């Protein structure tokens, strides 16, 4: 089962890499418990009223405007 946690401090993991304050990850319940209860660097995210956003592979990157597009304004 996947559990969502929100980082409250900096944490480094070989699987997730550098995670900073405000980052939200989905991980297995055992790793989530480790982050929340043992390391105290995260808090559980509840489904109700969850207003956090997280990057997903479905989101497309936004291209930077070219100099020509900037001048057109």
- Whether 55 maps to a domain, the answer reads no
Full-model pTM: 0.62
Looking at the structure of the chain, the number of domains it has is 1
Does residue 18 surpass a pLDDT of 90? yes
- Whether 17 maps to a domain, the answer reads yes
Mean pLDDT of the chain: 80
- Whether 73 maps to a domain, the answer reads no
Domain range for 16: 1-47
- Whether 42 maps to a domain, the answer reads yes
- Whether 61 maps to a domain, the answer reads no
Q: Which helix (H) or strand (E) holds 31?
A: helix 29-33
65 compared with 8, residue with greater pLDDT: 8
38-51 pLDDT tens trace: 999 999 998 654 54
Separation in Å, CA 46 to CA 5, 50, 58: 9, 6, 22
Residue 2: its pLDDT value, please?
92
3 state SS of 21: coil
Confidence of residue 1 (pLDDT cuts 50, 70, 90): confident
| Neighbour count for residue 25 (Cβ, 10 Å) | 21
- Whether 52 maps to a domain, the answer reads no
**CATH code, 15:** 3.40.5
């Amino acid at each position: 089962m996947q559990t969502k946690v929100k980082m409250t401090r900096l944490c480094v993991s070989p699987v997730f890499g550098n995670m900073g304050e405000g980052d939200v990850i989905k991980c297995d319940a055992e790793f989530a418990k480790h982050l929340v209860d043992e390391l105290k660097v995260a808090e559980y995210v509840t489904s109700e009223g969850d207003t956090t956003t997280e990057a997903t592979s479905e989101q497309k990157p936004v291209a930077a405007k070219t100099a020509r597009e900037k001048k057109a304004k």
